[in-house]
Amino acid sequence: MSDRHPPDTFTDINEAVGTDWESNTTPYERIRHVISHTYSPLSADTVADNARTAPKTARKHLNALADEGFVETTPGGHGSTRYRRSPESLVMEQASDILEHVSTDELVTRIQEMREQLTEYQTEFGVESPEELAVSQTNQVLAESGGPQAEIDPERIREWKTLRRNLAFANAALSIGTAEQFIGDDRRSTDENVPA
């Protein structure tokens, strides 16, 4: 037997972490963090609760984030507003992350490889998209052709969808990288033409 005794009270680790988060961040930072992981619309009250702040403060910061394009608003019940991360801000974040880690030349190569892989999926399944494949499978089942139904591995469909999403992010990153390059070129040529 041990002489050790359990403590009289146990600390709720979640509460301790939450309190620490609250003391080391501003309400704006906490609201931005919560909404950056919110893809289904939430009420300001729910965001406030998750961000450990008052609903009025949450609404103020959510509206500012909506003005910046980081948050998308949708009408809720009884005249309320619901908030979620805007798809545009997610695309910009992903594209910026790609550009930070991959050169434009390497990105062009990767995009070409993804396009080739996408073509392979389309050839393999005989349709243009995973959605068309689902419709085709449903039509086969409804027609009850009596022949054996080919089972398609759901993982393959998930991989196809992921490939399309990654290709879209890569294309966005390439477009942004190219635009930034043109802006940089325009600035240099303007600076060269300004007399000293």
Res 190: pLDDT: 59
Res 57: pLDDT: 97
Q: Residue ranges of the chain with pLDDT lower than 50? A: none
Res 196: pLDDT: 54
Res 5: pLDDT: 65
* pTM (whole model) above 0.85: no
Res 142: pLDDT: 74
What is the amino acid identity at position 45? Answer: D
Phi, psi values for residue 174, rounded to 5°: -65, -45
Rounded distance, CA 8 to CA 5, Å?
Answer: 9
Rounded distance, CA 11 to CA 174, Å?
Answer: 49
Residues 6+ apart with CB under 8 A from 37: 85
The CA-CA-CA angle for residues 58, 63, 68, to 5°, reads: 125
Token pair of 54 as six digits: 């008052």
